[in-house]
Amino acid sequence: MTAEALPLLILGGTGRIGRALRRQWPEVLPGGLRPVWQARHATPGWLGWDILAEPCPDGAARGVVLCLAGVISGTAEELALNEALALAACRAAAEQGARHVFLASSAAVYGPAPGALREKDMPAPPGPYGEAKLVMERAALGWRQQGGLGLTILRIGNIAGLDALLGGLRPGQPVRLDPAAGQVGGPVRSYIGPVTLGRVLARLAGLAAEGAVLPPVLNVAATPAVSMAALLDAAGVDWGFGDENPAVIPRVELDTELLQGLVDLPSGAGQPVVMVAEWRGLKA
């Protein structure tokens, strides 16, 4: 590590995305950022910090902060912790003079739409998790407008293998997909493989460390959007359609024009076979 190396503080490093990043990121990322992995309790290789109960350890947040910490299910009170965690990350970054903060949000803040969803489109979350993430986003963007430092909300699409579809597979148990009218492969979603996600996040963090101007909200996914059936086929999973579900959202597709202007996504990154291979490679 050189004297100029800056810390990239990853909050929520023990979560699904954090573990996937830790399996692939080196000790120093291209551009000189040094990943610092946060956990609630200090153990070898981990920075101990109880985000909502303690001040951030000196110097940990002086570079770039990537907040992956959050709650994906639970009571309204538990889901509200998404806002508290994000604002704690922002405050720590501001106090220690960080160059930029990234906050992980979700495509769940968007509602159903026939076309690709852009960052400027009005969110309309259909469920409690998306609602909680939208509350978090608005609180963080309000903090930014009050003189906070650089901030980017990352609206991340489904992550192959870290999602409920592939991540929830059980040996010997076929998958039952919700039918979606007019779509032979069932629901369609914007996905990204875990390795491609790691490359995207490393590149964005490097840009932030260099002082690049980044958008306040950024969709993160590969293209094109894919059907869930195509992913299951690529994974060699036995599947069939279940009963009609009136609550199913047929399509959630993210527009990634802004992202592609910042990051060169690998060719074919959005192909089901590529994303499944990324997931299985990390598992191995």
Question: Does the pLDDT at position 209 exceed 90?
Answer: yes
The mean pLDDT of 85-113, rounded to a whole number, is: 96
Is residue 1, in this structure, part of any structural domain at all?
no
Cis peptide bond prior to 194, omega within 30° of 0: no
Does residue 198 sit within a domain? yes
Average pLDDT over the chain, rounded to an integer? 95
Residue 153 maps to a domain: yes
pLDDT of residue 186: 96
The residues that bridge with 66 in the sheet, in sequence order, are 10, 102
Please tell me the total count of domains within the chain: 1
Q: What is the CATH number of the domain that holds 274?
A: 3.40.50.720
Domain carrying residue 226: 6-283
pLDDT level of residue 2 (50, 70, 90 thresholds): very low
Mean pLDDT to the nearest integer, 237-248? 94
pTM of the full predicted structure?
0.95
Is residue 30 one of the residues assigned to a domain?
A: yes
Q: Which pLDDT belongs to residue 5?
A: 84
How many C-beta atoms surround the C-beta of residue 115 within 10 A? 9
What's the pLDDT score for residue 30? 86
According to the model, what pLDDT value does residue 1 have? 38
Per-residue pLDDT of 170-184, as tens digits, reads 988 899 999 998 899
pLDDT value of residue 210: 95
* Three-state secondary structure call for residue 256: coil
Q: Does residue 202 lie in a domain region?
A: yes
| pLDDT (tens digit per residue) in 252-264 | 999 999 999 999 9
> Could you tell me the pLDDT band of residue 4, with boundaries at 50, 70 and 90?
low
Buried b (16+ CB within 10 A) or exposed e, 209-229: beeeebeebbbbbbbebbbbb
